Amino acid sequence: MRSEIVIVGGGAGGLELACKLGRKLGPGKVMLVDSRLYHVWKPSLHEVAAGTLDIHQEGLSYQMLAHDRGFTFVYGEMTAMDAGAKRLTVAAVSAGDGEEVLPERSIEYGALVISVGSTSNYFGVPGARENTISLNATEDAERFRLRLLRLLAQAERDKEGANGGRSGMDIVIIGGGATGVELAAELREASSVYAAYGFNRLQVQRDVRITLLEGAPRILAPLPEKVSGAALRLLDQRAIRVVTDCRVTAIEKQQVLDKDGNVYPADMCVWAAGIRAPEFLSALGLPTNKGGQIEVDGHLQVKGVPGVYAIGDCAACIDGKGKPVPPRAQAAHQQADFLLKTFMNVASGYPAQKNPYVYRDYGSLVSIGHQTTVGSLMGSLKGLSWFVEGFMARIMYLSLHLMHHQAVLGSVRTGVMAVARFLIRRTTPLVKLH
Ligand SMILES: Cc1cc2nc3c(=O)[nH]c(=O)nc-3n(C[C@H](O)[C@H](O)[C@H](O)COP(=O)(O)OP(=O)(O)OC[C@H]3O[C@@H](n4cnc5c(N)ncnc54)[C@H](O)[C@@H]3O)c2cc1C
């Protein structure tokens, strides 16, 4: 197999790039490789985990997008590459019963974009890998959802007195960044409708105990203090216990321990305390940093490897203003647009872009359940930021996801229909726990 441009990883950055390039360059020029068949917008995974978003409604089929947007889709996991020969390897795909669906494949490329996202960084905490769930992929979120259902059913049975009267369940979330805060709030939101699934005996605020542990002196530490304060207040109103300055030292099957000797009971534990690049990247022979991210220059090209680019969470990029680019969906989106321009220039016979990529921070919004959002928006002048909270902030939060749908689906008509379906889904109190 061969393609002019091969993009590996169809997430926030890679899928947008594949769709836009496929549409502009036409069939046969662009290939997307992904280890999954469906795309789910990663910032929605806490909703999938809590059961408030139906993964089957949310997922976009890569194969259908390839057909509509004019790129080729290759299903499988990239495992190796030979930068000299401009070739990469995609592993064989097996069905659940072990039968091989697709063999191992070799793909030759003219230009390669690596956009494979990130995975958890456990910082060597004993038991973290074995005893926690992370929200890196749809399978993780689904695993969380099913385990939550099992624990809720168990807690309901315990309430009936069938199991010796033990009461309720404990969920511990490690990491008070955006993912941890959003998940905690979403879980509380989901718990208000458990009764609809027959869990009538549970008194959710008392029986589903949620604890958020953060190592820094405040949650959402990279955001302005006012945002942290507002988020803390909203979590408190939702009966979510927040412990700051808490250094987790070990995680066991049913409990979490911290450096001060405190013990937190945990029927379920979530790791949301840090990310790193997928491990296979460090074996590709490309320059990587301590967190395994591929080092790129200001034009997003891998340092010293012409024709190979990296974007999104897996790229270590110092932008044109000398600032490190954070691992965020808005960065992946901007970098996809930057490379789109680079490739279109080259395709039209012009030089690639003169100016390097500069990250534009439009602010950070953190969803606290389905009704409200807090955060700060950056002004374009003098780098000032504005505190925002409430329903309007919620609408702005959703707009990032809507822009992604628009970028992927392309035409205004399809985009509008997708947005309408999206809004209906988001305003319907859907809870999926079966
Ligand atoms: C719960 C949660 C909430 C978040 N909220 C926000 C938010 O509000 N705002 C924000 O800006 N950011 C948010 N983020 C971060 C944001 O999701 C990421 O920064 C963004 O998705 C990164 O985009 P990406 O394209 O680099 O990778 P991803 O979107 O993670 O996509 C990576 C893709 O690569 C594929 N892949 C991985 N390995 C391979 C391989 N070996 N071969 C082939 N394919 C592979 C995966 O299947 C996936 O499709 C959130 C993240 C989480 C988990």
CA 279 from chain centre, in angstroms, equals 17
- CB 301 less than 6 A from any atom of ligand 1: no
CA 297 from chain centre, in angstroms, equals 24
Is the pLDDT assigned to residue 382 strictly greater than 60? no
pLDDT at 315: 98
Say if CB 14 and CB 115 are below 8 A apart.
yes
Q: How far is the CA of 334 from the centre of ligand 1 (A)?
A: 14
Looking at ligand 1, which residue's alpha carbon is closest to its atom 8?
A: 43
Q: Tell me which of 8, 34, 42, 65 to substitute to probe ligand 1's pocket, judged by most ligand atoms within 8 Å of the beta carbon.
A: 42
The predicted model gives 239-249 an average pLDDT of 97
pLDDT tens profile 182-198: 999 988 888 666 777 78
Is the pLDDT assigned to residue 138 strictly greater than 50? yes
The enclosing H or E element of 400 equals: helix 391-409
Q: Tell me which of 114, 276, 286, 328 to substitute to probe ligand 1's pocket, judged by most ligand atoms within 8 Å of the beta carbon.
A: 328
- CB 76 less than 6 A from any atom of ligand 1: no
pLDDT at 307: 96
C-alpha span between 34 and 62 (Å, rounded): 8
- CB 12 less than 6 A from any atom of ligand 1: yes
- CB 278 less than 6 A from any atom of ligand 1: yes
Which range, of 247-251, 302-306, 369-373, averages the lowest pLDDT?
Answer: 369-373
When the pLDDT of each residue in the chain is averaged and rounded to a whole number, the result is 89
The predicted model gives 415-434 an average pLDDT of 52
pLDDT tens profile 98-109: 899 999 999 999
Say if CB 116 and CB 278 are below 8 A apart.
yes
State the burial class of residue 217 (Cβ atoms within 10 Å of its Cβ: 0-12, 13-18, 19+): exposed
Which range, of 49-53, 89-93, 320-324, 376-380, averages the lowest pLDDT?
Answer: 376-380
Amino acid at 360: R
pLDDT at 420: 63
Q: Which atom of ligand 1 is nearest to the CA of 49?
A: 1
Spatial CA neighbour of 3 closest among 113, 116, 115, 117: 113
